[in-house]
């Protein structure tokens, strides 16, 4: 006989869960597994709300890729946990023992110690909660591509949950930051609130053209282009549109 979520594990837990695709969250009693050799049990004080949660609880994806709790494998050993063939997603999927995983909208959790970190004493828990999703997502590529140093240039596309954290990180690293957004209303927040250096409305063709790495030209403009190159009157480089403009006599 299949056990209920409340009785399948030894430790009682309580949280909020969506029961169907309506996405409505309501009180939910369940249980957490006993800790294994490398597990940590911790009390949940704050849990950031991610837009992915909304997609998941409404079954808009049918699955979700979230911070994983994998077993031991080559991917995990090489810090590539997201490629682990045995990965266990934070919520809504079968755990190693076949029971369902439940996320952080609850009173406590159990996870592998590999994914637990020491929290800085001067960082408020509530303010730092989003860092474990939006923070990691943006911090990781900045570090990976060497953009965590002064004097670098960083472009941030979109000023939403991830974007605003990316701007904060990049500015803290000393980078020159340009924000690209389809919404002109976000300019003040980007420049004054988050201290970005530049703001570009990506739907504005003139603004985008001014920032383009190339200037596409036709063959009949080549001589004028040469003159401009001689005068350094080009942002980066000209590109001839040969296929569309070179006509045989």
pLDDT recorded at residue 226: 74
pLDDT tens by residue, 230-248: 777 765 567 777 777 766 6
Map residue 112 onto helix, strand or coil.
strand
pLDDT recorded at residue 186: 93
- 52, 18, 71: which is closest to 137 by C-alpha? 52
- Selected from 3.40.50.720, 3.40.50.920, 3.30.70.270, 3.30.390.30, the CATH number assigned to the domain covering 133-208 reads 3.40.50.720
Most confident among 26-30, 81-85, 147-151 (mean pLDDT):
147-151
More confident residue, 57 or 109: 109
The lowest-confidence range among 49-53, 125-129, 158-162, 221-225 is: 49-53
User: Which of the four pLDDT bands, split at 50, 70 and 90, describes residue 85?
Assistant: low
| Alpha carbon 51 to its chain's center | 10
The lowest-confidence range among 25-39, 117-131, 132-146, 204-218 is: 204-218
**Contact (Cβ atoms closer than 8 angstroms) between residue 90 and residue 104:** yes
CA distance 42 to 60: 30
**Helix intervals (H) in 91-190:** 125-128, 134-144, 161-173, 187-188
Q: Are strands 237-240 and 214-217 parallel, antiparallel or unpaired?
A: parallel
Give 202's Cβ-side CA count (13 Å radius).
12
Structure tokens at 16: 């909020």
Mean pLDDT on 90-109: 81
DSSP code for 209: H
Fold assignment, 11-115: Quinone Oxidoreductase; Chain A, domain 1 (3.90.180)
Q: Examine the pLDDT at 229 and tell me if it is beyond 90.
A: no
Instruction: Sketch the domain layout of the chain as residue ranges.
Output: 11-115, 133-208, 212-245
């Amino acid at each position: 006989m299949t056990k209920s979520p409340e009785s399948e594990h030894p430790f009682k837990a309580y949280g909020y869960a969506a029961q169907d695709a309506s996405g409505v969250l309501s009180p939910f009693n369940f249980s957490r597994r006993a800790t294994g050799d490398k597990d940590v049990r911790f009390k949940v004080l704050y849990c950031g709300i991610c837009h992915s949660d909304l997609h998941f609880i409404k079954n808009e994806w049918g699955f979700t890729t979230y911070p994983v709790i994998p077993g031991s494998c080559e991917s995990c050993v090489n810090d590539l946990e997201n490629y682990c063939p045995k990965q266990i997603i934070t919520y809504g999927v079968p755990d190693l023992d076949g029971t369902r995983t439940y996320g952080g909208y609850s009173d406590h959790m159990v996870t592998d110690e590999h994914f637990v970190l020491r929290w800085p004493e001067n960082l408020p828990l509530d303010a730092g909660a989003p860092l474990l999703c939006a923070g990691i997502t943006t911090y990781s590529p900045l570090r990976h591509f060497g953009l965590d140093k002064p004097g670098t240039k960083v472009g941030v596309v979109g000023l939403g949950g991830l974007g605003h954290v990316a701007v904060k990180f990049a500015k803290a690293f000393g980078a020159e930051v340009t924000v690209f957004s389809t919404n002109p209303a976000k300019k003040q927040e980007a420049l004054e609130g988050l201290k970005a250096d530049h703001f570009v409305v990506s739907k504005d063709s003139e603004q985008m053209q001014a920032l383009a790495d190339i200037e596409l030209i036709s063959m009949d403009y080549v001589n004028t282009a040469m003159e401009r190159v001689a005068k350094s009157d080009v942002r980066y480089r000209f590109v001839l549109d040969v296929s569309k403009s070179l006509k045989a006599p």
